Amino acid sequence: MNHNLLNDICLRQLTLSGVHEGETISVLTQGDERADYADAFMWAAQTLGARTFHLRLPSPASASGAWAVGQSGLAGNQLAVDALKQTEMLVDLTFLLFSKEQFEIQAAGTRVLTAVEPAPLLARLMPTRELRERVEIGAELLAKSQSMRITSPHGTDVTYRLGVYPTMSEYGYTDQAGRWDHWPAAFVFTGGADDGVDGTIVLAPGDVLLPFNTYVQAPVEFTIEQGFIRDIRGGLDAELLSSYIKSFDDPRGYGMSHVGWGLDERAHWHGLTQFGGGMGMELRSFYGNVMFSIGPNNELGGPNDTPCHFDIPMRGCSLYLDDELIVDAGELTVADMRPAGKR
């Protein structure tokens, strides 16, 4: 992306994130990745009167190619962690998500923004205050609910017992001390009780498998009991899922993780056809998707920290909170969660 455009979107991002004079904004990269983003963020921070520096980690010593979450380049580098903890905001261009180093930095009051998606996607899904409000309305509804039920015409009927884990919102910027967000994003989620997810989920053609970054071609049926997947049936997609989870040799890879829905009408379901999907944030965010996840729940404060993780946005599902219909076959029912043109 053109330098001026990149500078411009980073300035808009840091403005939304409340960056101001007197703050220090740190920028973290690894190897030779995203040096252009780092420069643009530092320019934007300075333009807003903040101090800034760029901390660059070496390239990972081993590149397994697997999307194993929780393994950060900051591990064992306490001096670097301490430097980042002393800043008001960290712009993470490496994807620290789920690492204990990120949790430690947040616990020190540093707000953290992750940005690793292709720059044209950052620009197209620029966060807005209006979208944040709609996401926060969804989060309020979710936070006060005791149960979630998801159904679909393809045979999904699963119930999550809620009330154990906090509700999280992602709207693509962060202006609150200690809070993390990811640019771009527009969704809400929580997790079921560790032994409180039961039923059947049937993936339909067109549902999305992240991190495979593929669309399901033929139905996949999950049987879930007491918070764990007991059976996976179907064709090639089911075999690939099973084989991948099995390769971690970790029974916690079958745990049920976060669950929620997306709100961004600008995000495309067909997003994987562009930029290879990047990290898949566009797919997590598209309007009316219901996303469930497999694997770790330590992000919500739970005990499961397996590195085996799937996020699976689904189309056309219905979602009930305490028996109230919130997503009706992929359409949000609450006017205040809809975009202005759809109320």
Any alpha helices (H) in the chain, and if so which ranges? 3-16, 35-47, 78-85, 100-107, 119-124, 129-143, 236-247, 281-285
Residues with Cβ within 8 Å of 252's Cβ and at least 6 positions away in sequence, in order, are: 295, 296, 304, 305, 306, 308
Using the minimum distance from each CB to Fe ion, give the nearer residue, 41 or 183: 183
Count of residues near Fe ion by CB under 5 A: 2
| Residue type at 249 in one-letter notation | D
The answer to whether residue 106 forms part of the interface with Fe ion (CB under 5 A) is: no
Q: Does 285 participate in binding Fe ion (rule CB under 5 A)? A: no
**181 makes contact with Fe ion (CB under 5 A):** no
Helix, coil or strand: residue 274: coil
Nearer to Fe ion, 52 or 293 (CB): 293
Q: Does 297 bind Fe ion (CB under 5 A)?
A: no
Q: Which of 243, 237, 203, 209 is nearest to 223 (CA)?
A: 203
Residue closest to Fe ion (Cβ): 311
In the bound state with Fe ion, the residue whose beta carbon lies nearer, of 215 and 292, is 292
Judged by CB under 5 A, the residue of 7, 174, 293, 318 near Fe ion is 293
Least gap, CB of 208 to Fe ion (angstroms) = 12
**Contacting Fe ion within 298-317 (CB under 5 A):** 311
101: contact with Fe ion by CB under 5 A: no
Residue 222 and residue 207 in contact, taking contact as beta carbons nearer than 8 Å: no
Q: Give dist(CA 11, CA 20) in Å, integer.
A: 11
C-beta of 44 vs 241, nearer to Fe ion: 241
Q: How far is the CB of 291 from Fe ion (least distance, A)?
A: 8
- The smaller minimum CB distance to Fe ion, of residues 87 and 293, is found at 293
> What phi and psi values does residue 16 have, to the nearest 5 degrees?
-60, -35
Residue number with CB closer to Fe ion (27 or 280): 280
Q: Which residues, including other chains, have CB under 8 Å from residue 37's CB and lie 6 or more apart?
A: 6, 10, 29, 93, 115, 119
**Binding stretches for Fe ion (CB under 5 A):** 293, 311
